[in-house]
Amino acid sequence: MDTEGQFKGAKVTVIGAAGGIGQPLSLMLKANFKVGKLSLYDVSGTVSGVAMDLSHIDTPAHIEWFTPKNGGLKKALTGSEYVLVPAGVPRKPGMSRNDLFKINAGICAELATAIAEFSPNATTLVISNPVNSTVPVFVEILKRHGVFNARKLFGVTTLDSVRADTFLHRIKPEMKWGLIRVVGGHSGDTIVPLLSTVLGTEMNKVPREKIQAVVHHTQYGGDEVIKAKNGGGSSTLSMAYAANKFFCTVLNGRDQFSKDHVGCTYVCLEDESINGVSELKGLLRTFKKDQNLDMKYFAIPCVFGQHGIERVMYECLEKLHPYEKEMVEICCDSLPGNYEKGLEFTRTY
Ligand code: NAI
């Protein structure tokens, strides 16, 4: 808060700001009156034009831009409270998110090192895919620099909730918007939409094939966008919308709003001092029927507060429909391999 009791505009950095997601995301951030300074960074010089364009918009956020030749990550990151990372390469037709890993893991490690050095207290939102593996890269690099805070590092999975909501509404238009929890991870069968969170007992009345179609559409919705763009990129506009939605949820937490401060995100489960983490890990053991399972990462609805995650809402996994239970079990089989890939990468980085 400033001396007049107003919330100070946040300083936000977007890394990869000239890209397909970076541009519309930066537009939405510029339109947000809670953003005081918007720092745009990209290895591409076109970021200067993006910054010039946005700087004509009549909102208070002050725009600045940087490239490796102009100030670099040091200037882009210093003093930043929030860092949003849509940097890296997107999928092309026929590619899985895992195919991106080799290139994007190196980019993420480089960016995490810079964040550790120049904005060690920042809250970081990782958009670069494959999120299931890039988030562990961020975590391990930040840990190496002694600045990791599990309450403030998020893999952005909001597009999965946005898609689940959209596709469920096509068959149940009367449902309330914005309540579906999507847990697990952010690729293929690790994406577990909990449609029962809005359908409740109705879940059994909707034909199973309709439920399965909504789930499948949510899990593989990104593929149809890539196909439709025909080599012109992956989900950029819906992703920018989703990233901005999640950012606003985190800001609502900072500003201690009592509503709209809950959102699903892919997080590291190492810090058991976070309310709900040990309960979540215990519950996940029951899905695998393995008392030794130590799930290290998981996407789960979180309550955000002044200092990031306040509570992990493990209870959303307590009363699942049998179909959802099956999906969580499948996710628990696939997910460790995904995050281990990120951990393995950092061992030799
Ligand atoms: P894009 O290629 O249009 O933009 C990426 C931008 O990152 C480019 O402007 C590029 O110059 C920049 N960049 C590359 N290396 C960089 C570095 N070392 N430092 C700073 N900037 C760098 O790609 P798009 O479509 O914007 O996607 C970005 C990432 O987001 C991809 O990894 C994509 O797979 C991921 N994505 C994530 C989603 C999610 O739900 N989390 C959904 C859709 C895409």
CATH of the domain at 197: 3.90.110.10
Q: Is residue 39 part of a domain?
A: yes
Q: Is residue 2 part of a domain?
A: no
**Interface confidence (ipTM) of the complex:** 0.99
State whether 94 and 170 are in the same domain: no
State whether 152 and 180 are in the same domain: no
State whether 183 and 263 are in the same domain: yes
Place of tokens 């005081």: 36
Name residues whose C-beta falls within 8 Å of residue 71's C-beta, 6 or more positions apart in sequence: none
Q: Is residue 216 part of a domain?
A: yes
Six-digit token string for 34: 């809670």
Mean pLDDT value of segment 118-143: 98
CA distances from 174 to 35, 125, 194, 199, 204 (A): 34, 32, 17, 11, 17
71 lines ligand 1 (CB under 6 A): no
Residue span of the structural domain in which 288 resides: 158-347
234 lines ligand 1 (CB under 6 A): yes
Mean pLDDT value of segment 170-187: 93
State whether 207 and 138 are in the same domain: no
State whether 226 and 145 are in the same domain: no
State whether 194 and 291 are in the same domain: yes
Atom of ligand 1 nearest to the CA of 134: 32
State whether 149 and 262 are in the same domain: no
Q: Is residue 176 part of a domain?
A: yes
Report which protein residue has its CA nearest ligand 1's atom 42.
239
Atom of ligand 1 nearest to the CA of 155: 41
126 lines ligand 1 (CB under 6 A): no
* Residue 102 pLDDT > 90: no
- Give the confidence band of 2 by pLDDT, cuts at 50, 70, 90: very low
* Residue 1 pLDDT > 60: no
* Residue 6 pLDDT > 60: no
240 lines ligand 1 (CB under 6 A): no
State whether 250 and 308 are in the same domain: yes
Q: Is residue 337 part of a domain?
A: yes
Residue type present at position 21? I
Q: Which of 156, 171, 194 is the last residue of a domain?
A: 156
State whether 140 and 192 are in the same domain: no
State whether 278 and 341 are in the same domain: yes
CA-closest candidate to residue 17, choices 27, 8, 7 = 27
Q: Please state the domain count of the chain.
A: 2
- Give the confidence band of 7 by pLDDT, cuts at 50, 70, 90: low
Considering the candidates 56, 62, 145, 186, report the single residue annotated as catalytic.
Answer: 186
Q: Is residue 5 part of a domain?
A: no
State whether 276 and 165 are in the same domain: yes
Q: Is residue 72 part of a domain?
A: yes
Mean pLDDT value of segment 55-84: 97
Pocket residue to mutate for ligand 1, from 65, 125, 128, most atoms within 8 A of Cβ: 128
Question: Which residues are annotated binding-site positions for NAD(+)?
Answer: 16-22, 42, 104, 127-129, 239
158 lines ligand 1 (CB under 6 A): no
Q: What integer pLDDT is reported at residue 201 of this predicted model?
A: 87
Q: At what angle do helices 322-347 and 131-144 cross, to 10 degrees?
A: 50
- Give the confidence band of 257 by pLDDT, cuts at 50, 70, 90: confident
pLDDT over 90, % of the chain: 87
Q: Which of 156, 179, 204 is the last residue of a domain?
A: 156
List the CATH number of the domain containing 15: 3.40.50.720
Interval between CA 16 and ligand 1 midpoint (Å) = 6
Name residues whose C-beta falls within 8 Å of residue 57's C-beta, 6 or more positions apart in sequence: 27, 30, 31
Atom of ligand 1 nearest to the CA of 159: 40
Q: Is residue 1 part of a domain?
A: no
Q: Which of 156, 181, 216 is the last residue of a domain?
A: 156
| Higher-confidence position of 102 and 52 | 52
CA distances from 212 to 50, 201, 202, 321 (A): 41, 16, 15, 13
**Whether 321 is catalytic:** no
Q: Can you tell me whether residue 228 is helix, strand or coil?
A: helix
State whether 151 and 188 are in the same domain: no
Q: What is the pLDDT of residues 199-240, one digit of tens each?
A: 988 899 999 999 999 999 999 999 999 999 998 999 999 999
Mean pLDDT value of segment 191-195: 97
* Residue 345 pLDDT > 50: yes
73 lines ligand 1 (CB under 6 A): no
